[in-house]
Amino acid sequence: MGGALPGWRFSVAPMMDWTDRHCRAFHRTLSARARLYTEMVTTGAVLHGPRERLLGFSDLEHPVAVQLGGSDLGELAQAAKIAADFGYAEINLNVGCPSDRVQDGRFGACLMREPALVGDCVAAMKAAVSVPVTVKCRIGVDDQDPEVALDALADAVVAAGVDGMIVHARKAWLQGLSPKENRDVPPLDYGRAARLKQRLGALPVAVNGGLRDLESAQERLAEVDGVMVGRAAYTEPALLLGVDPNLFGMAAPVPDAFAAVEAFEPYIAEHLARGERLHAVTRHMLGLFNGRPGARAFRRHLSTHGMRPEANLQTLRDAVATVSREMPEARAA
């Protein structure tokens, strides 16, 4: 692992509408070492929108990185500087999102076709900040040859001084597939990310895409420096309890999911005191007890009662009380 990105061995992917500040604070309760990422924030939003709401975060979230979307060099440099001043540990450029909106704005996965521009973007951000600047990309888009496309992008950003690359090991099909389909339909090619790592040598390379548990993540770590887990970390957050002991050789911050809820209560209480709704925080916790008897009742209780204006910590405790602390015995094959 390169010295520029300590702790990059495991990270939770930036996910729109999911990895907001409450989600990240909750995930930090489960793992002290996982690197956390914001949702993608466009440069226009950073420069002209409500910055504190978009970029604000709690110190307990560290190490936390911001992901920017954009391709205007001046705007990226300004936005990176603003984010670094907020205290982010890393600035990541989105070169992987396949939505129509990012194509219209000339950022995201369509930038795979413009490696020289991406290199210029990285150089502009590197000149503006002292924290690491990284790129998250696909292996190619549409009819591109992934061997050629990914190497071209890598060469451009390496020349610009990039500190690391995160490779979503699928193509993005900008014509013919929806953003949702682009997360599953194009086949995974972990070998392409491994070949990139071999080619780049010391530069940190992490892989993303299709990693559903820590076992599959650990397999990939034999080939690359880091793994980034997305939907599995969100829908099955208890898997994060295994990150610190299995990947970093240290105890998890809390012994189990029940203790995680208790440890997270002060954070929730603080935000309730500010007038925020319980659901804004607890919507990220719905999958915490998946696999346990009572998990469905937990989700139902929080989804129903947590939406109410008067919902409070007791609402959460009542939901937890529906979950069995005994795990069912595995059935014999």
H or E segment and range at residue 40: strand 35-42
Q: How many helices (H) and strands (E) does the chain have?
A: 15, 8
Q: Is 67 annotated as a binding residue?
A: yes
H or E segment and range at residue 32: none
Structure tokens at 278: 């319980």
Q: Is 209 annotated as a binding residue?
A: yes
Q: Is 15 annotated as a binding residue?
A: yes
Q: Is 182 annotated as a binding residue?
A: no
Residue 204 burial (CB count, 10 A)? 24
Which residue is it, tokens 């099909």? Answer: 173
Q: Is 210 annotated as a binding residue?
A: yes
Q: Is 136 annotated as a binding residue?
A: yes
The catalytic residue among 23, 97, 110, 137 is: 97
Which residues 6+ apart lie within 8 Å of 265 measured at CB? 313, 316
Q: Is 56 annotated as a binding residue?
A: no
**Known catalytic residue at 97:** yes
Q: Is 231 annotated as a binding residue?
A: yes
Q: Is 113 annotated as a binding residue?
A: no
- The runs of H, that is alpha helices, within 180-312 are 190-200, 214-220, 231-235, 243-247, 257-273, 278-282, 295-305
Going by the annotation, the residues of the binding site are: 14-16, 67, 136, 168, 208-210, 230-231
Active site residues: 97
Going by the annotation, the residues of the binding site for FMN are: 14-16, 67, 136, 168, 208-210, 230-231
